[in-house]
């Protein structure tokens, strides 16, 4: 059961990244974060009709709230800032596969909080993923002065935040239900990003939402469904392997960039993508 939800979340996440890449050309980091979270909240609320919610939503334990508070105030602002800088400044085929690092960064918090460790095959997958990431990180265009690819570096930072947040997600989901957690998570995040939008004087960009209202409506539904599918898989399956399958879907976004956006293709990038596929497969079946 968890595998089906993990696969669904993988495909939906790839679709989300493709749309987000397009929207980063129109909006700044926090205004885009606010819009996406806000358009996702109604879709998450509708899912209450199809998925269970806690019997008493006013008596949820502290174990539900403290992960959310940390995610809202600390992780989300850093994570989304780095994510949208990466998508805006980098190629889809170069930055989206880096999310395959998610199970790697998740090992330490998962061990301490959930007592989960990878198998030997999983460890081999981790090595392949790390090597692939290094290849993309050092795949700098000729003539550029920096030693490392900055968009890839930004994505690595975003993935670190996501890994920490994913473990906290599981703690809070276990104290509630996947769909209720999704709704509260997105609702609180929209408030935080609204504050940041005004704090960084990006509020004038919100008027542009009318120009892409169709895209935002579609993306809101996609995000809500992806989050619920992921949260359900997370609640039912092993943390690192659920993350591996979810991250593997981003290879779809990478192929979109290569085939439809005609992004650059070097020998180093090809090798990295092959290693990402091998590493993700090893983690998923281990």
Domain boundaries, the chain: 2-285
Q: How confident is the model at residue 104 (pLDDT cuts 50, 70, 90)?
A: confident
| Distance, CA of 98 to CA of 89 (rounded, Å) | 15
Predicted local confidence at residue 157, as pLDDT = 96
Predicted local confidence at residue 116, as pLDDT = 62
CB neighbour class for 184 (10 Å; exposed up to 12, middle 13-18, buried from 19) = buried
| Distance, CA of 280 to CA of 286 (rounded, Å) | 10
Q: pLDDT digit string (tens) for 262-279?
A: 898 889 999 999 999 898
| Distance, CA of 42 to CA of 52 (rounded, Å) | 17
**Does residue 6 have a pLDDT over 90?**
no
**Does residue 221 have a pLDDT over 90?**
yes
| Distance, CA of 223 to CA of 218 (rounded, Å) | 9
Predicted local confidence at residue 141, as pLDDT = 67
**Does residue 68 have a pLDDT over 60?**
yes
> Biggest alpha carbon distance in the chain?
60
Predicted local confidence at residue 234, as pLDDT = 74
Say if residues 240 and 283 touch (Cβ distance below 8 Å).
yes
**Does residue 205 have a pLDDT over 90?**
yes
Q: Could you tell me the pTM of the whole model?
A: 0.90
Q: How confident is the model at residue 109 (pLDDT cuts 50, 70, 90)?
A: low
**Span 165-190, mean pLDDT?**
92
| Distance, CA of 243 to CA of 234 (rounded, Å) | 8
- The first and second tokens of residue 104, run together, are 């790697």
Higher-confidence residue: 75 or 229? 75
Q: pLDDT digit string (tens) for 234-263?
A: 777 776 677 777 877 878 899 899 998 889
Residue 140 per-residue DSSP state:
P
Predicted local confidence at residue 223, as pLDDT = 94
Q: How confident is the model at residue 123 (pLDDT cuts 50, 70, 90)?
A: confident
Say if residues 171 and 110 touch (Cβ distance below 8 Å).
no
Among 56, 91, 39, which Cα is nearest to 223's? Answer: 39
Give 230-282 as a 3 state SS string. Answer: HHHHHHHCCHHHHHHHHHHCHHHHHHHHHHCCCCCCCHHHHHHHHHHHHHHHH
Say if residues 34 and 26 touch (Cβ distance below 8 Å).
no
Say if residues 192 and 66 touch (Cβ distance below 8 Å).
no
């Amino acid at each position: 059961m968890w595998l089906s939800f993990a696969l669904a979340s993988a495909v939906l996440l790839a679709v989300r990244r493709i749309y987000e890449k397009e929207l980063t050309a129109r909006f700044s980091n926090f205004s885009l974060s606010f819009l996406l979270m806000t358009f996702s909240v109604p879709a998450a609320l509708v899912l209450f009709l199809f998925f269970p919610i806690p019997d008493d939503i006013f008596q949820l334990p502290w174990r539900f709230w403290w992960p959310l508070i940390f995610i809202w105030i600390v992780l989300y602002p850093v994570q989304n800032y780095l994510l949208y800088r990466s998508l805006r400044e980098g190629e889809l085929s170069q930055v989206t596969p880096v999310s395959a690092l998610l199970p790697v960064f998740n090992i330490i918090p998962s061990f301490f909080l959930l007592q989960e460790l990878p198998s030997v095959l999983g460890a081999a997958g981790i090595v392949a993923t790390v090597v692939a990431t290094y290849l993309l990180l050092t795949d700098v265009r000729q003539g550029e002065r920096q030693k490392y690819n900055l968009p890839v570096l930004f994505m690595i930072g975003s993935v670190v935040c996501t890994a920490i947040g994913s473990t906290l997600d599981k703690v809070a989901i276990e104290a509630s239900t996947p769909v209720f957690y999704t709704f509260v998570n997105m609702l609180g995040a929209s408030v935080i990003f609204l504050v940041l939008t005004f704090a960084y004087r990006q509020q004038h960009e919100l008027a542009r939402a009318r120009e892409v209202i169709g895209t935002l409506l579609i993306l809101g539904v996609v995000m809500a469904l992806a989050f619920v599918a992921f949260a359900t898989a997370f609640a039912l399956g092993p943390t690192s392997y659920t993350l591996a399958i979810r991250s593997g879907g981003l290879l779809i976004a990478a192929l979109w960039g290569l085939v439809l956006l005609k992004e650059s293709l070097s020998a180093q990038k090809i090798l990295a993508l092959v290693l990402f596929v091998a590493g993700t497969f090893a983690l998923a079946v281990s």
